[in-house]
Structure 1
């Protein structure tokens, strides 16, 4: 381990942040609960995430900030659009904003339209936003191009007007209020960010989504879960309850126990007795079966 790695680990051990609602954001909590994607975050990436949350007073437990990591690509730290809007409204210099889309008409005319409505025959080419700030002679304006932001994900295909307008809004707000929004980016602005981010509040101490997926994968191999019928978890619930655990409220430190129990579990084979029967007619005319 080199000097830089030692320094990172030392800084990481000291990096903790208490949110306004009382939760403690630590490196262990980030790694266990707050990473989106399938990659393993580095100590430096975790440290940067904690420090940004601390500096900007973000609460990742209520999904104000996300740490995203796929494979070996660099991690991304993104913030929900609602955070940008809430921070702007809290600033005493904020005096409102206007936002919309930029379209090219059939005649080749470029128009800036407020809102997200595109008429048939028009081509969407971008988004715009104007933020009004007290004592500023002109509004802070952002004009963004669709081709620089559009991704091939479902939301961009289904709602391109909404998405490019959102990119324009967060860009303009960040420029208008750098002290409140510096270093913060919405997922729509980042190329390799997932299309949809988890919105549920994080419950520390309980099994993570990734852990539960691992449990259900092993359960399917043991015949206790069927991916063809994903809503039916009754067999797995019964298995957990028979061992004194609750699948829906599974704790973080109970995951390894359940995985160990599953690995040792052997499905019971149904015993089928192949027997031939023959009819026997009694003296009184009744018919019985005899092996």
Structure 2
């Protein structure tokens, strides 16, 4: 029995932790694509330990590029990182039974003056949140600096939601820190996607990677002896190979071809890779751009095929989409997906569905047709957690919906 299960109040059961084979296959294909069997097993065990529901996006797996040492060289491989949403952190705290709410968030600028609402044009310098727990004499505070967590592009510009709602993002990081400190037995080793966003930031030139800093003591001793003797230490990490003109042009051409499907997404892909300086990064950028284009083209084709075919012998005929109403099962799937997209109100959900379906105005869940729901779910199945949240932000921008604090 986990500490969470032991301490939770009556009437607050954990999410189901016994997954069927169908659910495991769904997790592997949709929630943790690219994970090895060992990583998949680890993810499922973490779901069971925390009692979090991966289908509600309370916990999810993210594949990140990491450097590992193989022989005398560092090579880049894809490794799974388990992340928990801020909602998952709150669920764990609530189930604990000792959670008594929070104080804040508060924000400050470079002057260090704390305010309870951030109205400045630029991002705050930091945010702080206090967690209340039964038995504590005062709130347990945590402070998160913006520069320590902000997600940035190759040119240093803020990325995604960090550019659109920087105060909200840094406040969630502060709250996650505070919750982890208040409930260490249940949250130790767990981090939110907002906290991990900076892991993909481009590294400054000359700064060693964390993997290189975590070398063995034996390697450190060897280096120290060499430095004491005045002999330069040999580096085992080869310099990146600069891409040739052909490789660079291929990336530019592919970016131009898929620009029609989403300029912001293309910019995000290019910003994620150092494609102008590293041949392997250029190849990865080209591959990601191509995959993005193929996915969007397939979705567009599916939408076109779903439209009724015109009748040649009938003039001025009016054709309407398939009137089959949405099913209760589809409504449940859409609501489950919305919980992991920050689509926390019916107004936002209506905007998201309309944005995905390319409708001129928001459309409520209950008035969608079965085909509409199928199209939305097919689109979301191909999106990563970050892409889903980005879709919500874009829909709110297109339909001019005010941003919510959380």
Fold-level similarity (TM above 0.5): yes
Q: Where do 1:19-98 residues align within 5 Å? A: 20=16, 23-24=19-20, 28-35=25-32, 40-70=34-64, 72-98=77-103
Q: Quick one: which of 157, 167, 175 aligns to 1:161?
A: 167
Distance in 1, Cα, partners of 2:124 & 2:20: 44
State the superposition RMSD in angstroms.
Answer: 3.9
Residue of structure 2 in register with 1:172 after alignment = 178
Structure-2 separation of matches of 1:125 and 1:86: 28
Following superposition, the deviation at residue 188 of structure 1 comes to 0.4
Deviations 1:228-257 (A, max 9, x none): xx85343799xxxxxxxx9949xxxxxxxx
SS in structure 2 at match of 1:167 = helix
Decide whether aligned partners of structure 1 residues 123 and 53 sit closer, same or farther in structure 2, where only a CA change above 3 A counts: closer
Task: Give the conservation status (yes or no) of the 8 Å contact 2:107–2:167.
Answer: no
Higher helix fraction (1 or 2): 2
Shift in Å, 1:173 = 0.7
Bigger CA radius of gyration: 1
Does the 8 A contact of 2:126 with 2:143 survive in 1? yes
TM-score for both structures, normalised by structure 2: 0.41
Paired position in structure 1 for 2:304:
232
Partner of 1:257: none
Q: 1:217 to 1:102 in 2, by over 3 A?
A: closer
Give the structure 1 partner of residue 271 of structure 2. none
Contact in 1 for aligned 2:17/2:48 (Cα 8 Å): no
Deviations 1:7-43 (A, max 9, x none): xxxxxxxxxxx952874266544322212xxx72223
Preserved CA contact (<8 Å) 1:103 1:118: no
- Aligned residue for 2:353? none
- Closer, same or farther in 2 for the Cα pair 1:132/1:29, shift >3 Å? same
CA contact under 8 A between 2:61 and 2:83: conserved in structure 1? yes
Give the TM-score, by structure 1 length.
Answer: 0.55
Q: Match for residue 271 of structure 1?
A: none
Is this contact kept in 2: 1:99–1:169, CA < 8 A? no
- Conserved in 2, the CA contact under 8 Å of 1:118 and 1:124? no
Supply the distance in 2 between the matched residues of 1:219 and 1:118 (Cα, whole angstroms). 39
Query: Does the 8 Å CA contact 1:100/1:112 hold for their aligned counterparts?
Result: no
Unaligned runs of 5+ in 1: 1-17, 197-210, 238-245, 250-291
Structure 2 Cα separation of the partners of residues 175 and 149 of structure 1: 18
Question: How far does residue 77 in structure 1 lie from its aligned partner after superposition?
Answer: 1.2
SS, match of residue 41 in structure 1: coil
The 1:145/1:235 distance shift into structure 2, 3 A limit, reads same
Counterpart of 2:105?
Answer: 100
Q: Which consecutive aligned stretches of 4+ in structure 1 deviate over 6 angstroms post-superposition?
A: 213-216
Residues of 1 paired with 2:18 and 2:194: CA distance? 29
CA apart distance, 1:84? 1.6
Q: Hey, which of these two has a bigger chunk of strand by percent?
A: 1
Provide the rounded CA distance (Å) in 2 between the counterparts of 1:97 and 1:87: 14
Aligned length: 195
| Contact 2:31 2:54 (C-alpha < 8 Å) held by counterparts | yes
Q: Distance in 2 between matches of 1:91 and 1:101?
A: 25
Contact persistence 1:101–1:161 (CA under 8 A): no
Q: 1:218 to 1:94 in 2, by over 3 A?
A: closer
Q: 1:49 to 1:219 in 2, by over 3 A?
A: closer
Which stretch of the first structure deviates more once superposed, 161-170 or 178-187?
A: 178-187
